[in-house]
Structure 1
């Protein structure tokens, strides 16, 4: 995937290049200190897929640039990178992929890159037959780590937060009629019935207006005092993850690339920071599915001696939930498999500390026994190696 950088600070070019170098799928094709040069480059290079754009620049600012690029019908997607948090809401009125606040962390950048790559990979994985027609009308819905709806016409610009929430609710129940009384209770709870009914009417109207520019107004159907969402040719990231993650029980060498691509689809919890209360059950279900998938494939990767891939997945899962003993066990086994006694000690002692600090408890006897046995195994292997060399 080819990307460009647009920032009047050349130091940011160096920083972003260094961070993006860690993604083998990404190539920085150009860096520009003004939007005019960037626009000229884009007009001559249609293969650029992503642009990281600063908002505050001399002359034309980043948001004006993004709006201009959007009007040209260019296929390039925009990620804003700026120090100004206050621009976030206004920025999302444009069809941007993400909004990064400086200083950008590697982890946060990884989420953005993975989300873009996952959508790109998902489109390429469509069946070859009639693929041109399907892709031309494809609705891309991102729900993991973020929430956005887009197709070739652009990204949905939500008129209100409640219109986005109503779409999210209907999305998880798409094809089913959801009674008004249920929507009022789940989305507008706490209001008087009269006010909630009026607010729901307004929100339905706003939702349809939000969807109209990308041709989805009629996807919100009124049915018997309720509403339903009907979508065709929709690619939804959490469904894609569910389908792909169920394909592997055991991983072989030839599966590794596909497995890692599948893991990248899960770029964060359902609906990201919005964390709708009514979606808690589904959020937890998908998070558990992701954790189970990573543990399962990591064990398989360890069995085929692919410790590099296993380590990357397990460290990511451990960062999400450092109290998960199953993950700690696998990391300890991985360190032992590599003969790294120091890393094994650090992993175990860090876990003991966090258990004591957060929960006031000690590790299980099973984990203590595992630790002791792994230490003994490492020592025995080193002694055996030393004996053979003599």
Structure 2
């Protein structure tokens, strides 16, 4: 997907370029310090799908730029990247896809981009079928990197954080009745029981009101002093991700493009930054599934010589878990493949320092041996070169 950057600070161009370079499937086609130049480039190019736009730009503001793009019916999605939190409500009124506050973290940017890529892929098949077919009325549930529910009637706006949490809890136990006593304990634990039960009543009401806006009030069923979530004709992203991981064989070269598409479905941790205590097991399970899948892809990419994409995938894993030495070993292998001895040494040294600082331990014997082996290859290569020069 081709994207552009619109910010009057050139430093932000460099920062975003570096961060976006770590995300597979993204190409930065241009960077502009004013909206007029950006609009002209969009018209001439015709294939720009996403713009990261600062709001406070001299001349035409980012807001005005978004309005003009919408009026021109440009097939352009906009993400605002700004220092001004107070613009958020106005931004969403313009139907921008996200609103990022500086300084933007790599994980937050990754969640936004992966969600856009996933929605883009899900929308593609719908353009190939007739209006009114089964694709048009499906409900889409996104819980990787966020908690979101939408269909052709719009997107749910949660009345409260607790009603979003209750939805997430019932979704994980989809179709199963959950007793009120368990909901009180898991979601409202720590409160006086009578208060917690009253709070649960309010939250169930708020959840139904939230879902009612897109015609889904009745999906939350009352059943034998408990509740169950029954979603029909729905696409649930974490279930779809797990299903497609199971279907694909990333160790086969012919499946590589499909495998990369599946990787991008994982837009972030289960429920994003919500960090629900009751969801720790499921969150870690899907994190492990994603990590294992990406490592398989990286190993295959390394074996066929595609170090660039492999490096991007591994750097994403490293952002999530800097202490995973298997990821560092693969990144070290890539440094050796590309002849980057200095980069290899820096990578190993930084990892050793991280282990010492955070855990008070040294790299494993396997890691030390791997590093020595890769360094020796550089030395052997230099010796061969010297011998050839003498001859």
> After TM superposition, is the score higher than 0.5?
yes
TM-score, structure 2 normalization: 0.80
* Structure 2 match to 1:194: 194
Cα separation, 1, equivalents of 2:10 and 2:153: 31
How does 1:285-296 map onto structure 2 within 5 Å? 285-296=285-296
Between 154-163 and 84-93, the greater mean CA deviation after superposition:
84-93
- 1:298 deviates by 1.2
The verdict on how the C-alpha distance between 1:295 and 1:186 changes in structure 2, with shifts beyond 3 A counting, is same
Name the residue aligned to 1:334: 334
| Cα pair distance change 1:347/1:55, threshold 3 Å | closer
Specify the alignment match of 1:264 in structure 2: 264
Matched, 1:227 2:227: yes
Distance 1:348 1:369 in 2: 12
Moved more, 378-387 or 193-202: 378-387
Note the C-alpha offset of 1:125: 5.5
Mean CA deviation greater in 201-210 or 144-153 = 144-153
Structure 2 residue runs of 5 or longer lacking an equivalent are none
Instruction: Specify every segment of 5 or more residues in structure 1 that has no aligned partner in the other structure, as ranges.
Output: none
Task: Decide whether aligned partners of structure 1 residues 65 and 165 sit closer, same or farther in structure 2, where only a CA change above 3 A counts.
Answer: farther
**1:97 corresponds to:** 97
What is the 5 A alignment of 1:254-333?
Answer: 254-333=254-333
Give me the TM-score of the superposition, normalised by structure 1. Answer: 0.81
User: Residues 147 and 272 of structure 2 are in contact (CA less than 8 Å); yes or no, is this contact kept in structure 1?
Assistant: yes
Corresponding residue of 1:152: 152
* Compared CA separation, residues 64 and 287, structure 1 to 2 (3 A): same
Structure 2 vs 1, CA of residues 92 and 189 (structure 1 numbering), >3 Å: closer, same or farther? Answer: farther
1:193-212 superposed matches below 5 A: 193-212=193-212
Query: Cα offset for 1:299?
Result: 1.3
Deviation string, structure 1 residues 170-226 (Cα, Å, up to 9, x no partner): 111111111111111111112222211211111111111111111111111111111
Native 8 Å contact 2:110 2:268 kept in 1: no
Distance 1:175 1:96 in 2: 34
Deviations 1:268-305 (A, max 9, x none): 21111111111111111111111111112211222222
| Residue in structure 2 matched with residue 173 of structure 1 by the alignment | 173
Task: Name the SS for the 1:117 alignment partner.
Answer: helix
- CA 1:345–1:47: 2 relative to 1, 3 Å: closer
Which deviates further from its counterpart, 230-239 or 336-345?
A: 336-345
1:357 and 2:357 correspond: yes
Higher relative contact order (CA 8 A, sep 6+): 2
SS in 2 for 1:121: helix
1:62/1:10 Cα in 2 relative to 1: closer, same or farther (>3 Å)? closer
Partner of 1:124: 124
1:367 equivalent in structure 2: 367
With 148-157 and 330-339 compared, the bigger mean Cα shift is at 330-339
Q: Number of matched residues?
A: 382
- Partners in 2 of 1:120 and 1:185 — Cα distance? 39
CA contact 2:178–2:227 (8 Å) conserved in 1:
yes
CA 1:101–1:200 in structure 2 vs 1: closer, same or farther (change >3 Å)? same
Report deviation, 1:321. 1.3
Verify the 8 A CA contact 2:9 2:33 in the aligned structure 1. no
- Report if aligned partners of 1:3, 1:30 keep a CA contact under 8 Å in 2: no
Alpha-carbon RMSD: 4.2
8 Å CA contact retained: 1:94, 1:155 = no
